[in-house]
Structure 1
Amino acid sequence: MERDTLNTPTEWRLAEQSPSPNDKPTATDRGLELETIETALAAANIAVFELDLVSGTSSVSGAWRQLMDVSLSEDVDFQTEWRKRIHPEDEVLIDRALTDYVSGRAPRVAVEYRLRSRDGLDWRWMRTDAEATKWDAQGNALNLVGTQRDITDKKRAEIALQDSEEQFRSLMNNAPIGTALVSLEGKWLATNAAMSAFLGYSEEELRSTDFQSITYEDDLESDLFKVQELLSGEIDAFELDKRYVRPDGEIMWGHLCVVLVRSDDGQPLHYISQVLDITETRKLDFLRNEFMSIVAHELRTPVTAVVGALDMLEVVCPNGPNEKVQNLVKIAKRGGDRLRTALEDLLDFEQVSGGTLSLNLTETNIIENIGEAMLKSQAVMDQHKVSARMFLQEGQIPWQCDPALLDKALRHLLSNAAKFSPENSEVCVIVTRDTRHLNIRVKDAGPGIPDNLHEKIFQPFWQQDLSDTRDQQGIGLGLTISRQAIRKMGGELSIEASGGSGAEFLITLPTCPLK
């Protein structure tokens, strides 16, 4: 340190720590120790200073000059140089820290503040820690000995983290959907206004409970299963629809999204949960399903009676009283058949969308099953003047499946193929198998389906254009029902890239369907 080194605070501390009054270090020893300490402090970029509170002068280490960007050749007043570069807003912090220490309210001077760089272009963060080592008879401090360190990187990281936390808090508080921090045990750590409004609890009430307590009993098992998958690292996040119970007993539906936050070393810290209120959507879905079910069931009986009567009329009066009546009967029958098919599709779709589609797996002769489906589809084939032929390598293929579901899917595929095929063309049903899969292909000679529509065609009520609905007499549910029927058996229904005219659908069934 600059000034009289034999009277520096570092030397004073070394003297205080001497092992014995009779074993005092020599001047040479003291010089070596001081040089070593000075080197260590400089390497750690820690500046050391002593401030004389009586004269206002100070002495500093070489590291201080380096920290302050003051060269060894410059003759500066250290205290003045330091003071003039303090940020105006931080001067009061430094004065308060000094006053608190001198008055005995603080054990030491400890303060963080901003200091302008020597070129005036930047502000650096510093930390000063200091204590007095000399006192007068009245107990007044005569000096301050301390360190000064550059903590700019650390402080900027803290400020960035604080800003990030404030942004997250602001985003969370103002988010239009329920957002919460949840502990690993399920305790609510923090919630926003939207979450409180959705659940019907105040933030304080939520903090005194956990998510398990307000989860509808039937939904808790699936929720906890997903949480365990998160903790085990099998998944990074999950989403599910679940029910919550409000204080008044009302059931609320929410779409829950959960992410597990981990520390840098991978240890789980807490969950971030978001819940979107889907109660009204669920109610509308329920009403829609109820409406469809009632309409379909109520209409099925009279439509079946009308179509049946028209069928009998054709049998009883094959030629009819006159040609006009005969044509009217045919028109009525076509309309009745179309309405009956639409009602059956609506009922099947109701089961698919409601998850009530039943599964009855049994070993079936696939060839016979396909043959029956082709026979049931003969009427629509005849109507569009199209034929169907099956291509196979063996006469019998025993396979475990649900015959009713497979028949349903095949008839929809055959019906579609007939509707979109040109007259006098042939629909091909190709059956192959290997040790793991059974493949059934239904290929037509129609205009085909563009590659960019291969997934859209499986969406309910989807039509490539409005004219398809009128000309081809469908409501757009057949492929949706077919895919769900095949998936129920653990298989898949897809459309193959044909590379030319025609559409080719592929049913793939595994050897051991999912139960």
Structure 2
Amino acid sequence: MQDLGEALLRLAMRHSPVGMMVTSPAGEMLAVNEAACAMLGYEHDELVGASWQDITHPEDLATDIDLVAATLAGERASYRLNKRYVRKDGEVLWGDLSVALLRDDDGSPLHFISQILDVTEQRIAAERIAEANATIEKHARTVAAIYDAVDVGLVLIDRSGRYEQVNRRHSDFMRLAYPEGHHGMAGQTGEVFEADGVTPMARQDLPSHRATAGDEFDDVRLWVGSDPATRRALSVSARSTRHADGSLAGAALAYKDVTDFMRALAVKDEFVASVSHELRTPLTSVLGHLEILEQRRDLPHDVRHQLAVVDRNAARLEMLVSDLLYVAQEADATLQVRRIPADVAAVVHDAFEAARPMAAGTGVALSADLPDSLLAMCDPQRLRQVVDNLVSNGLKYTDAGGEVHVRLRAVDDRMELQVSDTGIGIAPEDVARLFARFYRADTERVKLTAGTGLGLNIVRSIVEACGGEVRVDSEVGRGSTFTAWIPLVVPGDE
């Protein structure tokens, strides 16, 4: 019967796809099957007679020895262990080892029967997964720390508008906007006001409601809170999040505190309005006295001519003061234009000639390509402002030896005014904000050049009030081209 059992064991070892070996209680390998030899990279004769301890990884040897001792002592009949083996080529193999001890009839240990399953790939995969999970957890902790540390309110909402995550900063804003508590859903109205700080913001205009619908935007300004001492102004931006198939998953919103900026704008507007009012009073007096002088019949011709020049420039100065007052008080209003029959070419030519002294003083060449005449219904004073501002802007930011070129032409049903320069150019990030009130690019040249940041804003306001549009094309270091298109209304066709 014992012979039959041994024959069956040898047969099983020979055909088993799992590594198998028979070892003595002392650790000598008595039999090793082909699967174990292939797994460990040894020939059969190299393993038989050797000790299993010789092929065990040093770091796992003590554990295996302890389990063998416990089994021999009768404390257990078998054991299972994930351990490392050292192959003949020096590579490490992870094995899932199962060991059982056979005893004779009187209980004396006969030999161990071991089965070894190669789990190296699974072990490596598990280690990689563990490393990846550890990395993910570390990044998650880092993101969470940054999420709560940044001085910007951050909100994540799902497709239904439910708030999934809100950082500490935004929680502060929500306490101001919703003193009675927030329901955790987008579109909840509360103490949220438009940019004027007075008009309650309607539900459909709330950034969270707009973001839920997939709307993406930047710099939407609003106020939260009704107490003047604690209320804050916020600039809100939103970006959609989407599933792999492109469908809307939700949105991320950022709320930046711009209270100091908004209050500074208000103070600036009040200051500009005050200065404008103060300037208007003496200007009105000057214009009044000029009108009285011009009515005198005893003035020499040259004096009358000089008074006309003074009167014309005083009138222009009055309009500039009016525009300054306008941009301070009516940022969202439209400039009023008074269209009369005029020669646009003559208006542009006068502005061109008036800029010659400035061009000569800065060493910049000034050239023009103008038609002999271009009759249109326009506001000559406003058009002159556009040309003055664009030409002055080109001269200020063009170095000596450069050129500013003015071109006027009729293109289909529009007149096209173009002012090009070979100056310092405008960075792409500044182009989008170039026509905003008081905006000046953050460069050393701009900082050292006198200006209010209103000229281009007035240009856009006038052009748009005339039903046109203005655009700038620029490259840093190569210059800029400002182009204004205004509908060409010929006298008699209006």
Q: Which of 149, 173, 182 is matched with 2:119 structurally?
A: 149
**1:256 equivalent in alignment to 2:237:** yes
Match of 1:173 in 2: 145
Match of 2:457 in 1: 480
Match of 1:430 in 2: 408
Match of 1:349 in 2: 327
Q: Which of 173, 184, 198 is matched with 1:209 structurally?
A: 184
Match of 2:287 in 1: 308
C-alpha separation in 2, matches of 1:396 and 1:379? 17
C-alpha separation in 2, matches of 1:257 and 1:466? 32
Change in CA separation of 1:250 and 1:210 when aligned onto 2, cut-off 3 Å = farther
Q: Which of 264, 277, 289 is matched with 2:257 structurally?
A: 277
Deviation at 1:311, TM superposition (A): 1.7
- Alignment map for 1:223-238 (pairs within 5 Å): 223-229=208-214
Change in CA separation of 1:310 and 1:186 when aligned onto 2, cut-off 3 Å = same
Aligned 8 A contact 2:280 2:318 in 1: no
Residue 391 of structure 1 aligns to a residue in which SS?
coil
Aligned 8 A contact 1:389 1:429 in 2: yes
Amino acid paired to 2:318: R
Deviations 1:94-132 (A, max 9, x none): 99xxxxxxxxxxxx9898x9x5876999988x6959899
**1:185 equivalent in alignment to 2:160:** yes
Amino acid paired to 2:456: L
Q: Which moved more, 1:189-198 or 1:241-250?
A: 241-250
Residue 185 of structure 1 aligns to a residue in which SS?
coil
Deviation at 1:260, TM superposition (A): 2.0
Residue 306 of structure 1 aligns to a residue in which SS?
helix
Change in CA separation of 1:79 and 1:250 when aligned onto 2, cut-off 3 Å = farther
- Alignment map for 1:401-412 (pairs within 5 Å): 408=382, 411-412=385-386
Aligned 8 A contact 1:214 1:245 in 2: no
Deviations 1:215-267 (A, max 9, x none): 8443754654455447xxxxxx753435475799955514335352645x667
Aligned 8 A contact 1:181 1:273 in 2: yes
Give the share of equivalent positions with the same residue, in percent. Answer: 13
Deviation at 1:170, TM superposition (A): 1.6
Q: Which of 488, 491, 502 is matched with 2:469 structurally?
A: 491
Deviation at 1:164, TM superposition (A): 3.5
TM-score normalised by the chain length of structure 2: 0.56
Amino acid paired to 2:423: P
Amino acid paired to 1:477: L
- Alignment map for 1:108-123 (pairs within 5 Å): none
C-alpha separation in 2, matches of 1:240 and 1:491? 23
Deviation at 1:478, TM superposition (A): 2.2
C-alpha separation in 1, matches of 2:97 and 2:455? 79
Deviation at 1:438, TM superposition (A): 3.0
Aligned 8 A contact 1:373 1:410 in 2: no
Change in CA separation of 1:196 and 1:396 when aligned onto 2, cut-off 3 Å = closer
Q: Which of 465, 484, 494 is matched with 1:507 structurally?
A: 484
Change in CA separation of 1:308 and 1:173 when aligned onto 2, cut-off 3 Å = same
TM-score normalised by the chain length of structure 1: 0.54
Change in CA separation of 1:273 and 1:410 when aligned onto 2, cut-off 3 Å = same
Aligned 8 A contact 2:415 2:487 in 1: no
Change in CA separation of 1:121 and 1:269 when aligned onto 2, cut-off 3 Å = farther
- Alignment map for 1:372-383 (pairs within 5 Å): none
Amino acid paired to 2:325: L
Change in CA separation of 1:57 and 1:241 when aligned onto 2, cut-off 3 Å = farther
Change in CA separation of 1:246 and 1:70 when aligned onto 2, cut-off 3 Å = farther
Deviation at 1:83, TM superposition (A): 6.3
Match of 2:220 in 1: 241
Change in CA separation of 1:384 and 1:219 when aligned onto 2, cut-off 3 Å = farther
Deviation at 1:433, TM superposition (A): 1.9
Amino acid paired to 2:414: L
C-alpha separation in 1, matches of 2:85 and 2:411? 79
Deviation at 1:430, TM superposition (A): 2.4
C-alpha separation in 1, matches of 2:217 and 2:19? 55
Match of 1:450 in 2: 423
Matched length: 416
Aligned 8 A contact 1:493 1:506 in 2: yes
C-alpha separation in 2, matches of 1:163 and 1:109? 31
Deviation at 1:450, TM superposition (A): 1.4
Change in CA separation of 1:162 and 1:359 when aligned onto 2, cut-off 3 Å = farther
**1:218 equivalent in alignment to 2:218:** no
Change in CA separation of 1:380 and 1:127 when aligned onto 2, cut-off 3 Å = same
Aligned 8 A contact 1:303 1:340 in 2: no
Deviation at 1:289, TM superposition (A): 3.1
Match of 1:358 in 2: 334
Change in CA separation of 1:245 and 1:288 when aligned onto 2, cut-off 3 Å = same
Deviation at 1:163, TM superposition (A): 1.4
Aligned 8 A contact 2:390 2:482 in 1: no
C-alpha separation in 2, matches of 1:267 and 1:129? 50
Change in CA separation of 1:243 and 1:226 when aligned onto 2, cut-off 3 Å = same
C-alpha separation in 2, matches of 1:490 and 1:121? 80
Aligned 8 A contact 1:219 1:243 in 2: no
Deviations 1:15-43 (A, max 9, x none): xxxxxxxxxxxx8xx999x66xx3xxxxx
- Alignment map for 1:308-327 (pairs within 5 Å): 308-315=287-294
Q: Which moved more, 1:411-420 or 1:158-167?
A: 411-420
For structure 2, list consecutive stretches of 5 or more residues without a partner in the other structure. Answer: 68-78, 103-111, 193-200, 358-365, 396-403, 489-494
Change in CA separation of 1:442 and 1:109 when aligned onto 2, cut-off 3 Å = same
Deviations 1:411-434 (A, max 9, x none): 32146548989xxxx996522224
Aligned 8 A contact 2:234 2:255 in 1: no
Match of 2:401 in 1: none
Aligned 8 A contact 1:238 1:259 in 2: no
